[in-house]
Structure 1
Amino acid sequence: MAEQAADVEGAVADAPSPVRKGVVALVTVLIVQVLFALCLVSALQLLVPRNMLFGVAGPPSRVVAAVASKVSLQPHGYRSETALRGAIGDGRLYGGYVSGRTRDTLIVVPAQSFFGQIEIEGAFTAAAKVLQRPVTVETVKPLPSGDRVGAVVGLLLLPLLIGGYLAAVLVFKAAGGTAAAPWRALILTGYAVVGALLTDLIAGPGLGAYATSHFWPLLPCFALVTTAVVLSAAAVQSLVGKFGTLLVAVAFIVVGGAGAGSSGPYLLPVYWRNIGVLFPPQNAVHLIRNVLYFDGNDISTPLTVLFLYAFAGVAVIGYMGRIRPARAASARRDTSAPAPARPGRRGLPILVALALCALMQCLFAVNYTSAAHSPAATDMPFGVTGPSPVLTAAQKTFSLKVHHYRDESAVKDAIDRTEIWGALIPAPAPAASTLIVVPSISDLAPLDIAVQFKRAAAAVHQPLAVRPYAPVKLAKKDPFGVVQSLMLVPLLIGGYMSAALLMAATGRAGGRWRAAALAAFAVLAGLVVDLVVCLWLDGYPRSSFWIVWPICSLIVAVVAFVAAVLQKLIGSAGTLLTVVLVILFGNPSNGGANGVPYLPAFWRDIGPYLPPRNGYVLLHHTIYFHGHGTTQALAVLLAYLAVAAVALVLLDQLRPDPGVEPQAAEAAAMAVPIGAAP
């Protein structure tokens, strides 16, 4: 084995330079892809309270003690209910419990964390019922209709973070690599303000994700976030050079994005919460949430951190901008080399780069926010075994597409085939009807269905029992069924980055071995992601390991081959077009963990024609529904792969490849939003 390894190593070492560069490029993509999968899944697969800040007031309560023994809370005692409510209003607590003589009050705070509220309310009401202690649940700081699940803060972070990253990278390329030019800081700061204004206009007045009264308070926050990202990214590039682009992407988007805590930082693993506080994304989330929902209270820390990033960026850019020109002038005197082009000569390329960046930022703000800021079910597939006043009452407020079945066994068969997402088994009064929910179909649908039908049952004075059913139980470390949505993003990114960096390394958009190299990369990448998510992180049952591997490889291969064909046709711009199709339109339309019924009509309609929706369905239904309902998804992905593979081979044979400028290809590969997620 050692001799064979030495022979392989020697063969690679003796291979032509383009081959060595291609191998290095693909290995780099694989490392980034695996790191992204590891960070994203480990941070978000298990969103449960971890040392969650919680207030208590009044006499010691057995209910609080019972909950604290099962749920990871960090209780803080307050001398009075008024003091407790003040701390909640300042955004410092996730909830509170006020114990009284005969009755207690549980205070929940949806604006702090939607999922945190669900965990806290469920735990306290269950404990109070067991201990026979009357408790009233009171909601403060409720989420508005434009942000019913608290997704807006995370969705706002996406265009701000990506916009700053893109601006730093594209201006660096447009300026010919002069990352430390003193005029660059001013240009990037100006773009940050413009990008913030565009994002604010789109998300607020444009899409109604938040009230227009928040437009002006949020504008400086958005500008600060983008400024911190863009200037610190430019500073890293000035210190490291072109590899600074990759370093910034890993630090700010892969690592920083995973620890952002948009669902609530105290739902993250403790180590991720502590890592995240060091980077702009988590501080941006804290700043935006508290300005949006807590009247701007408790924002000193995020303001300090973000300003430090911005000031450090300006300092490094200014320092390097003074040293490098002096060294360049000295070199010209010694060698009589021609002087570099003045910045003014690059004005047009920089303006074009900034315009492209603004377009991408606007697309991120429009697409992701419109698709997910206020998920509401439309035509939810639902089964019944007979007429019921509960169903009639539920349909007045809940959009259902009702299917009729003869009995409960037929209902479960339909759930197994993914035909329905829940069902009602009516029973004659005074017996309770049974509502069946499916935890493995969606993270939101079971809760939504249960809440809607409980309200309907109460309105018609009918008893209702809720019972979960799933063909395959969710993994212990994926209780909300979000892992497939999370792991899909690194698979998509690995696909287009492999094609882009391979082109950058070889300087060609084609070649006889290019298709084989991408296919081999897809097989290896699918295996490694499967190993990390399944065996390392326990993201889904290990019994699915072998069937998930080819699915992951298929998703990577589809995106890689589509990108390769577009690159062959239009050069480096093909990478950008792939990003637009796959990340900017495909990913928001895949439905993700919420599910397709929660998408607006436009996104629901285009999803079946794009790879991300079909990749997610194939992954999710194979793992949790024994492969039922995957025929169309598999056919679409195989069609994409076959057409792209044939097109790539024909183009290589019939269309000469003049080669591509490596820097242009690199810019297209790295100046793309590798951190996009639903």
Structure 2
Amino acid sequence: MSAVPARRMIAVMVLVPVVVALALWAFAWPAARTAPRDLPVGVAGPAAAVTQLERGFERREGAFDVHRYDDEASARAAVEDRVVYGAVVAGPKGTSLLTASGAGPVVAQLLEAVTAQAPAGTQVRVTDVAPLPSGDPRGTALAASALPLALAGVAAGALVTMSGLRGTRAAATLFGASALVGLTATAISHSWLGVLQGDWWAEAAALSLTVAAPGATVAGFAALLGTPGIGLGALLMVLLGNPFSGAASAPELLPEPVGAIGQWLPPGAGATLLRSVAYFDGRGAAAPLVTLSVWAALGLAAVFVGGRRRAAALAEAERPAPVPVA
């Protein structure tokens, strides 16, 4: 056996376990370490009652970030604005819990479990101020959409690159494909399955941008680095971006700093943006919208820079050699 095939065999045998280990770390580790970490929650009511509620949350050190509100109305507004995931309100009629399953059903269930530990005889009324639709009462459909959208973006960027499209044509193709994906996904998720319940066109725009950002990133990497750029983009968007997105739970339930990193990547920002437009009338959409726009803009900039480099290299190669002077 020659040396070259032998080295290739060894490289493949070593590379496959490394990739598997990386995938297991990225997907299994965050799932196995799911727990609240500075999860924003609110408390409201009389001062004495609020202090007692705060102490209840603070027993779990580092688990909750408690916000005080004057009354139920202000606490409800904070939940609806996505400032907190839920709020416990103490009033003359007893204790009530405001949740928002649209922000994450896992968090809503967690808050219900925490308040269920109230002293015996205490009845806690639960009100879901941003409920999930009847078509997806557990929120599994939205969580399951993160991976297909990331794959769609990677595929769009890879196909644009392999088709030899450059510059304006590459940008137009990327955004055209992303827009069609967004329209198709909204038609399926909103109109057919009924798992989204916000403004139809806002959801389509959010889904389109969620595909365009990774698509432009992959195409940009490929324009600058060549074919290996496609693999780098896929690694970043699928292998890291998807499990770090918090789409199936919440960013604050993932190990630190995974939750924060996930929100800086397109899959996590896209999931947060889609929740905002689908269940909260766009409230809380600013940060993920900026994140996705920055990724898309930087990716397109790289596409144009790479295209100009390629054009300059081709022009240099085609330039006739100087005629030697006798």
2:58 maps to 1:395: yes
Alignment-derived partner of residue 44 in structure 2: 385
Q: Distance in 2 between matches of 1:522 and 1:657?
A: 29
2:76 and 2:98 in contact (8 A); partners too: no
1:383 and 1:420 in contact (8 A); partners too: yes
Alignment-derived partner of residue 229 in structure 1: none
Alignment-derived partner of residue 128 in structure 2: 469
5+ residue gaps, structure 1, are: 1-341, 660-678
Alignment-derived partner of residue 237 in structure 1: none
2:91 maps to 1:427: yes
Structure showing greater Rg: 1
2:221 maps to 1:531: no
Deviation at 1:467, TM superposition (A): 1.4
Q: 1:495 to 1:654 in 2, by over 3 A?
A: same
Q: 1:401 to 1:653 in 2, by over 3 A?
A: same
Alignment-derived partner of residue 628 in structure 1: 283
| Aligned partner of 2:233 among 562, 571, 578 | 578
Q: 1:486 to 1:596 in 2, by over 3 A?
A: same
Q: Residue type matched to 2:251 in 1?
A: V
Alignment-derived partner of residue 550 in structure 1: 205
Q: 1:657 to 1:490 in 2, by over 3 A?
A: farther
1:522 and 1:557 in contact (8 A); partners too: yes
Q: 1:512 to 1:414 in 2, by over 3 A?
A: closer
Q: Distance in 1 between matches of 2:54 and 2:192?
A: 43
Q: Residue type matched to 2:159 in 1?
A: L
How do 1:147-546 residues align onto structure 2 when only pairs under 5 Å count? 346-386=5-45, 387-388=48-49, 389-397=52-60, 399-427=63-91, 432-455=94-117, 457-458=118-119, 461=120, 463-471=122-130, 473-504=131-162, 506=163, 508=164, 510=166, 513-541=169-197, 543-546=198-201
Q: Distance in 1 between matches of 2:196 and 2:245?
A: 20
Deviation at 1:361, TM superposition (A): 1.0
Q: Residue type matched to 1:482 in 2?
A: T
Q: Distance in 2 between matches of 1:445 and 1:466?
A: 17
Q: 1:348 to 1:608 in 2, by over 3 A?
A: same
Q: Report the 3-state secondary structure (helix = DSSP H, G, I; strand = E; otherwise coil) of the residue aligned with 2:124.
A: strand
Deviation at 1:344, TM superposition (A): 8.0
Q: Residue type matched to 2:135 in 1?
A: K
Q: 1:415 to 1:390 in 2, by over 3 A?
A: closer
Q: Distance in 2 between matches of 1:424 and 1:565?
A: 47
2:312 maps to 1:649: no
Alignment-derived partner of residue 569 in structure 1: 224
Alignment-derived partner of residue 320 in structure 2: none
Q: Distance in 1 between matches of 2:59 and 2:115?
A: 11
1:510 and 1:657 in contact (8 A); partners too: no
Q: Residue type matched to 2:114 in 1?
A: Q
Q: Distance in 1 between matches of 2:29 and 2:276?
A: 26
Alpha-carbon deviations, 1:504-555, whole Å to 9, x = none?
3x3x4746522222221111111112212222222212x5322111111111
Alpha-carbon deviations, 1:583-629, whole Å to 9, x = none?
22222221113111101112023123211121111111111111111
1:390 and 1:462 in contact (8 A); partners too: no
Q: Distance in 1 between matches of 2:216 and 2:262?
A: 19
Q: TM-score, normalised by structure 1?
A: 0.43
2:251 and 2:263 in contact (8 A); partners too: no
> Percent identity between the aligned chains?
24
Q: Report the 3-state secondary structure (helix = DSSP H, G, I; strand = E; otherwise coil) of the residue aligned with 1:376.
A: coil
RMSD: 2.4
Alpha-carbon deviations, 1:184-227, whole Å to 9, x = none?
xxxxxxxxxxxxxxxxxxxxxxxxxxxxxxxxxxxxxxxxxxxx
Q: Distance in 2 between matches of 1:637 and 1:378?
A: 25
How do 1:49-60 residues align onto structure 2 when only pairs under 5 Å count? none
Q: 1:555 to 1:393 in 2, by over 3 A?
A: closer
Q: Distance in 1 between matches of 2:123 and 2:32?
A: 31
Alignment-derived partner of residue 592 in structure 1: 247
Q: Distance in 2 between matches of 1:567 and 1:607?
A: 22
1:611 and 1:636 in contact (8 A); partners too: yes
Q: 1:448 to 1:533 in 2, by over 3 A?
A: same
Q: Distance in 2 between matches of 1:426 and 1:511?
A: 59
Q: Distance in 2 between matches of 1:574 and 1:380?
A: 36
Alpha-carbon deviations, 1:319-376, whole Å to 9, x = none?
xxxxxxxxxxxxxxxxxxxxxxx99853333433343332221111111112111311
Q: 1:558 to 1:425 in 2, by over 3 A?
A: same
1:371 and 1:589 in contact (8 A); partners too: yes
Deviation at 1:394, TM superposition (A): 4.0
2:221 and 2:302 in contact (8 A); partners too: no
Q: Distance in 2 between matches of 1:372 and 1:638?
A: 28
Q: Residue type matched to 2:59 in 1?
A: K
Q: Report the 3-state secondary structure (helix = DSSP H, G, I; strand = E; otherwise coil) of the residue aligned with 2:116.
A: helix
Q: 1:512 to 1:425 in 2, by over 3 A?
A: closer
Deviation at 1:414, TM superposition (A): 0.7
Q: Give the total of aligned pairs.
A: 309
1:450 and 1:466 in contact (8 A); partners too: no
Deviation at 1:454, TM superposition (A): 1.6
Deviation at 1:487, TM superposition (A): 1.6
* More contact order relative to length (CA 8 Å, sep ≥ 6): 2
